[in-house]
Chain A
Amino acid sequence: MGDFVIDLIAATLRIATPLIFATLGELFCERAGVLNLGIEGTMFWGAFVGFAGASLTGSLWLGILLALIGGMLSGFLMSILSVRLGVNQHVSGLGITLLMTALSLFGFRLIFGENRVLPSIAPFQQLNLFPNSAILGPIFSQYTLTYIAIFLIPVVSWILYRTTFGLNIRSVGDNPEATDAAGINVYRLRTIALVIGGGLMAVGGAYLSVAQLGSFTFGIVAGRGWVCIALIIFANWQPLKVLWGSLLFGGVQALQSRLQLTGIKLPYELFLSLPYIVTILALTLAGRNVSAPAALLKPYKRE
């Protein structure tokens, strides 16, 4: 039983890692007033660029760095459409997802061809923080990226609530007109937020290919981006709550896959669809009271 729980906690952290990265990325975008539905495609793009980068350069960290840059470009493209041109955020975000997915598939075939054997790399090793402890050892045998993800949560919280930059991000998300009147460039701030956001989303995707799998499969992201959109609402647009939401989701998923292994008959599809159902329920109960940024979805036009 003890082993089961320890294993469960460790798996929860592993599953939560990409969600934390990508949800924090989405948080930057949404707090600045832009719903970035490009998240699913940007994660997929990050998984591809990370894998291709790592396997071409031979360095896993270089792969992660390239994914970060690739994701920032994806966020920049989103900013040209939704911030500079003021295109409807829903449609431009979905367009980004479609484009980044297509580009990744194209690039993967172009570089690796059509292989019978899936190309693979030796992924990251896990880092044991407590090699001498029987309990903490297995729990904190995680990828470095997992530790970075957890560390990022207080960092993002600090940036958003304790720095001028964060204050400006939040104010362009809540009241761009007033922020503009105060002499702050709304377009530039939203662009920066989207660029940071895209980078974090892509690192979340790259974690899947470079750390967890060591390969790139076409189903690698499998709707995790949409889970993050749900987590943001669940977390009420607050960084600290992103951690709990991601851990809860990771925990449910880790639990169901372990119960399935034990042969207990469970409708695992129900478990997997829970985050979506819970989010819709949360939206229903909260209704208009959810504290979404006031200017979310509204393109800003300077007259």
Chain B
Amino acid sequence: MIKLKLERTPAPMWSKALIPIVAVVVTFIITSLLIILADANPFTAYYNFIVVPLSSKFSALEVLVKATPLIFTGLAVTFAFASGYYNIGAEGQLYAGAVAAAWVGATFTNLPAIAAVPLELVLGFIAGMLWALIPALLKIKLKVDEVVTTLLMNSIIMYFISALLNGPWRDPETGWPKSPEFFEAARFAQLIPKSRLHIGFIIAMVLVLIVYVVLKKTPLGLQMRAVGASKVGAQFAGINVNRTMLIAALVSGGIAGLAGVSEIAGIHYHLISELSGSYGYTGIIVATLGGLNPIGSTIAALFIGLIDTGSQTVSRVLGVPVYLGDVVQSTLLLVTLGMLLLQNYRIKRQ
């Protein structure tokens, strides 16, 4: 009998690029079991998932609409994770940004768009940073695990928003828990008539470039990646680890805040407690699939946007529950995580 054993060897470069593709295939094979359970043909289902949304202009634009918040949150998570700071709080920081934008959108009704939109973005960024500040300080001053604190901050802001929407911001006419509607000039301009695509997408794209340059081409980016690779090593190399992590945490919070600004000023025009469809958490999927690389995470965001749009098509055409999209996304995350580690192993004859 041939004896086999697993042996640890460093992964070759090509396997890094191959992983997301193989992960997608493996995920589709696993989730096709659920499609069969729902009495549908997996091939027809995946055709509707992947191809149909891209075959009409309207739904192709909708993919970009759905990807926009994920590009932001994916970048936010990438920025933090790349420097070894596990910010799980993008969801809460997103809402903080949205609250700031909602305040601008309901208050400064005389501002022209050229002033209102930048004000929303700046205040949204700051609000996201502030919501990220407490966990970041606790981490660097007291070594308190940031995962638990950022996670708890997500729950806290939801109650804060509930208090706002059931209190001072309750709609005075309808009594619904939603904030006053944005005035016209505070809304993001539409990019293409009769589609929901707005300038938030362009802002996201610019941000991708900025984050890429910062991470890959600046001393700060080098320090961040060094800290991410090994805190002890970075310390020895003379890098101020605490300062680097603080910057990463706060900028990450700010970018997540921009996701909230983009969703509220581009799509909803008022604050509601269902503003985010878990975009903060999905950002973790996006960043992981993208290999903590800004470009990779953008591609991943577009792919998840496609799955989001496709799951609605699949549900409409084949009657498969729309939540199949969520199952595919989370399975993809777990499969990718597993494969990222498995690539370091080879099966050898003993």
Contact = CB atoms under 8 A, between A and B. Distances in A.
Given A87-B338, A102-B327, A226-B151, A95 B333 contact: yes
B337 A269 contact: no
Contact of A223 (B155, B167, B282): B155
A149 B142 CA distance: 35
Given A95-B285, A284-B144, 12 more contacts: A88-B86, A91-B86, A98-B278, A99-B331, A102-B330, A105-B321, A105-B326, A110-B37, A229-B152, A276-B155, A279-B152, A287-B142
A297 interface: yes
Interface of A: 35, 37, 77, 80-81, 85-88, 90-92, 94-96, 98-99, 101-103, 105-106, 109-110, 223, 226, 229-230, 233, 267, 269-270, 272-273, 276-277, 279-280, 283-284, 287-288, 297
Interface in B293-350: 321-324, 326-327, 329-331, 333-334, 337-338, 340-342
B51 interface: no
Contacts of B152: 226, 229-230, 276, 279-280
A91 B288 contact: yes
14 contacts: A37-B151, A80-B338, A81-B338, A87-B337, A87-B340, A90-B86, A94-B281, A95-B285, A102-B329, A105-B326, A109-B321, A226-B152, A277-B156, A280-B149
B277 to A, nearest CB: 12
Nearest to A229: B148
A85 B148 contact: no
A292 to B, nearest CB: 8
Contacts of B148: 229-230, 233, 279, 283
A257 to B, nearest CB: 14
Interface of B: 34, 37-38, 86, 88, 134, 138, 142-145, 147-149, 151-156, 158-160, 162-163, 166-167, 278, 281-282, 284-285, 288, 321-324, 326-327, 329-331, 333-334, 337-338, 340-342
Nearest to A289: B142
Given A90-B86, A287-B143, A226 B327 contact: no
Contact of B138 (A80, A87, A105, A283): A283
* Consensus secondary structure, chain B interface: helix
Given A99-B327, A110-B38, A229 B151 contact: yes
B29 to A, nearest CB: 16
* Consensus secondary structure, chain A interface: helix
Contacts of A267: 163, 167
A258 B203 CA distance: 47
A273 B155 contact: yes
Contacts of B329: 98, 102
A269 B162 contact: yes
Contact of A94 (B142, B156, B163, B284): B284
